[in-house]
Structure 1
């Protein structure tokens, strides 16, 4: 190969480079580009193995000239290779509206074996700034190779986190933005391309649509809350990682992994795995749409399906009670422990509010009766779920329930899986006759359900095709080894040795008596 993919991407700091060493003068990183002041220069050194194999090269310089108020800007550039001019006093077209691709033919005779030097100079007479976004250089026989390499390198990090803000739609420009929950997302179907646009709808009816800067530094879009209020929506990148980093603390039912198929030619054909996560701090998503920077686009509409056998307790991070017997230590926090302590309230009705560690498709819940007084057991109650802790939906209702013993655990299955709620409210409307109500423990169970999707996919410049997916089976968890503190383990081993020693002595004495008899 006579020439490697050669590029410098200045949309991030430090720049993404391939077969290139970059230096600059009178220039600084501008958030999504390199800003050159008047007289500023950028120098790129790159290697060529054998220029005789290159009939001609294609140089692309993507740049923008900042405007002078309402007038077009003025920042001509010179482009030189090995000190020889490729362009003099070139005015980048567009006048500050959008970055422009400026393409130059590089004669083979200007290339040499070893290190070659490309220089871009902003005119000393410039009256506005030159914003330099990227440089690519390819043999004419392999045009586009550097662009593909740049896209693949940029897409290595596919988990993104944004600090977000909201402002009421149609508000005055001076209206301040208000902080909103963090957005974390990951969308990967093994095509090594960054997203350009993303839209999603939550199970509570809230929806968002956003568009990204090419370097993913920020986004702008719109959001409509579950109550129908419309907002402007924007975000600033706070972190990006290579999968699976960055997703550990997300909620919204976590990461979805799908085995996918594409429908064309009258049949379904296996396709790449799709990994999907959108966590905006609200309800779990039920629909996601996207378009990537190559122009490919897709839609996935999610629905719950029966999964493999097995259930999982969902961790509860907080519980609040309408009342509790704090003086006796019988508080609502006891409901979350594995011990047989209890919660007690001096009333025959009560409410308990639970916050789960994440949104989850709950299929059942369990209540454990307390240590005494069966007439304090709950008898009638309702269970409501919520995405935001304010708007509640009934998921279960019980009447005339009884417990047959103390510390008995009863499981109550929901008629339909709760759709990814994070907040639950247990409203005890009557007990079994006492003036107090009590429970020992409450658990929420995520049942054997998963998510499938149906939708479509459309590659750039092609027609849409069917697209569907089923959950990737999750391996059964490997039981953790029993954790025993070293001193206790040593004591147990010593006790075992002593027991074996005593047994051996007893057997030896028995054998001696048998020989003497």
Structure 2
């Protein structure tokens, strides 16, 4: 092959390169592209074995020009090969909204054996910036080879993270875009194909549908909130990784793994494992739809099924409407497992808990503190929230009492809470004191899992049934019971005191026996 697939993909840092060495001056990585200011240059060196075998080459430069307020930007470029102009003072079309493919025919006479040099120069008269996303170069006889090679390389990554923005529907102002939560997704059924389109519905009723650039650098789409308000939705790639890299704990908790079956020929047949994660920073998903770049598509609708044993949900943060900081009786003590406590100078305080990840809570426990039973909570409500702003009542209690100090009571929810990440305990009355206290609060994740039903459709074929059940999680190795150090120390001190009292009693008894 006289000209290998040649590309430079600037949507990631470092850039993905094939048959290319890149240098640049006064350009910098902008998160999903190279940003070129006035007078900046990008130079790409590539190898050609024998230009006589190349009747013509196709050069594609994918770029956009940033806007100047509400007006199109101005950042013309020159494109040169071996220092000879292929295009001069070219204005990239598009108005600064989406990257554009600018395609050039490269005559064979401009190529030479060995190292060739392509240079892109931003005009010194530029008044806005040029965003350079990628460069591809192919022989006309191997049209699209670089795009295919780049897609295959990019497909090694299946975990993607995007910085996102929302703008009210029908608002065309460039300044109306507002920052939105980060989007992390991973969808893999072992077909090594990147998604072209993705849609999902959250358990809170929100819906989103997006379409990607072929190199995954950007997406554009729409979003609807639970109250029906519609928004334009867009995102820029901030990272791509192979599974399971790039999954933070908050995102990994939303990952679903399924053993799958496909329905055709009158029966069900085992298929590849499916992994699905869509974390948009709002609510867990209940439905996901997709189409990949090969034209295959599918839909999965999640459903709750019996799962593994119940476990404690990990609380990442707790805030209280009031706490006794001067003596260390703060809300953090509710999480550490010791016999320290939280005390509020209020007979009706609130506690706001943020879990490390969304959890389906089936019960919660409260532990009374060390003294003053009249400080015990008596009436309260528990509420859950996806975003920490909109709350749903989950449980309400009145007239509750604790029979002893450091007593733990469990309260079951009538229906398992949806996958909320925020929980608010609103204590509306205590047992008569002007202060309120607790020693510990914990939340119990229910014994539930996720299965799905849906369909799958391969390119140019009819739809078939598609269903899945959770992949079993290996049971953790048994470990010794861990006792928090402060609690262990307190118990040992109590044991020592008890032994001392017993010894004193026995000594007194022995003295009386000697005297009798």
Per the TM superposition, whether the score is higher than 0.5 is: yes
Superposed, 1:409-448 pairs within 5 Å as 409-448=408-447
Give, in whole Å, the separation in 2 of the partners of 1:315 and 1:285. Answer: 21
Going from structure 1 to structure 2, the CA distance change for 1:404 and 1:34 (only over 3 Å counts) comes to closer
Q: Deviations over 1:472-501 (max 9, x none)?
A: 2222334679999xxxxxxxxxxxxxxxxx
Indicate the larger mover: 417-426 or 259-268. 259-268
Going from structure 1 to structure 2, the CA distance change for 1:279 and 1:75 (only over 3 Å counts) comes to closer
Going from structure 1 to structure 2, the CA distance change for 1:472 and 1:47 (only over 3 Å counts) comes to farther
TM-superposed CA distance for 1:420, in Å, is 0.9
Q: Deviations over 1:383-421 (max 9, x none)?
A: 111112222112122334333322121222222221111
Q: Deviations over 1:397-447 (max 9, x none)?
A: 233433332212122222222111111111223344555432110001112
TM-superposed CA distance for 1:62, in Å, is 4.3
Superposed, 1:330-369 pairs within 5 Å as 330-369=329-368
Give, in whole Å, the separation in 2 of the partners of 1:312 and 1:57. Answer: 67
Going from structure 1 to structure 2, the CA distance change for 1:3 and 1:309 (only over 3 Å counts) comes to farther
Going from structure 1 to structure 2, the CA distance change for 1:136 and 1:373 (only over 3 Å counts) comes to same
Q: Name the structure 2 match of 1:396.
A: 395
* 8 Å Cα contact 1:252-1:278 kept in structure 2: no
Superposed, 1:39-188 pairs within 5 Å as 61-62=59-60, 99=101, 135=136, 148-188=148-188
* 8 Å Cα contact 1:6-1:46 kept in structure 2: no
Q: Name the structure 1 match of 2:235.
A: 235
Give, in whole Å, the separation in 2 of the partners of 1:244 and 1:427. Answer: 38
TM-superposed CA distance for 1:244, in Å, is 1.6
* 8 Å Cα contact 2:151-2:215 kept in structure 1: no
TM-score by length of 1: 0.71
* 8 Å Cα contact 1:252-1:284 kept in structure 2: no
* 8 Å Cα contact 1:359-1:422 kept in structure 2: yes
Q: Name the structure 1 match of 2:470.
A: 471
Going from structure 1 to structure 2, the CA distance change for 1:286 and 1:58 (only over 3 Å counts) comes to farther
Q: Name the structure 2 match of 1:317.
A: 317
Q: Deviations over 1:133-189 (max 9, x none)?
A: 55476998x998765543221112222222222222222425432222222222222
How many positions carry a matched residue from both structures? Answer: 465
Give, in whole Å, the separation in 1 of the partners of 2:48 and 2:482. Answer: 57
Q: Name the structure 2 match of 1:387.
A: 386
Give, in whole Å, the separation in 2 of the partners of 1:76 and 1:437. Answer: 72
Q: Does 1:246 align with 2:249?
A: no
* 8 Å Cα contact 1:315-1:357 kept in structure 2: yes
Indicate the larger mover: 3-12 or 445-454. 3-12
Give, in whole Å, the separation in 2 of the partners of 1:367 and 1:181. Answer: 33
Give, in whole Å, the separation in 2 of the partners of 1:279 and 1:397. Answer: 30
* 8 Å Cα contact 2:313-2:355 kept in structure 1: no
Give, in whole Å, the separation in 1 of the partners of 2:22 and 2:316. Answer: 52
Q: Name the structure 2 match of 1:296.
A: 296
* 8 Å Cα contact 1:65-1:75 kept in structure 2: no
Going from structure 1 to structure 2, the CA distance change for 1:461 and 1:481 (only over 3 Å counts) comes to same
- Is the partner of 1:250 in helix, strand or coil? helix
Q: Deviations over 1:7-49 (max 9, x none)?
A: 4354547654456678999x999976999x9xx998875688x
Q: Structure 2: which 5+ residue stretches go unaligned?
A: 66-70, 95-99, 121-125, 484-516
Going from structure 1 to structure 2, the CA distance change for 1:213 and 1:480 (only over 3 Å counts) comes to farther
Give, in whole Å, the separation in 2 of the partners of 1:16 and 1:344. Answer: 56
Q: Name the structure 2 match of 1:284.
A: 284
Give, in whole Å, the separation in 1 of the partners of 2:244 and 2:56. Answer: 37
* 8 Å Cα contact 1:257-1:471 kept in structure 2: yes
Give, in whole Å, the separation in 1 of the partners of 2:377 and 2:44. Answer: 77
Q: Deviations over 1:326-378 (max 9, x none)?
A: 45543323212211112234554333222222211112111111112334332
Going from structure 1 to structure 2, the CA distance change for 1:465 and 1:76 (only over 3 Å counts) comes to farther
Q: Name the structure 1 match of 2:513.
A: none
Q: Structure 1: which 5+ residue stretches go unaligned?
A: 81-87, 107-114, 123-127, 485-517
Give, in whole Å, the separation in 1 of the partners of 2:3 and 2:250. Answer: 40
Q: Name the structure 2 match of 1:203.
A: 203
- Is the partner of 2:193 in helix, strand or coil? coil
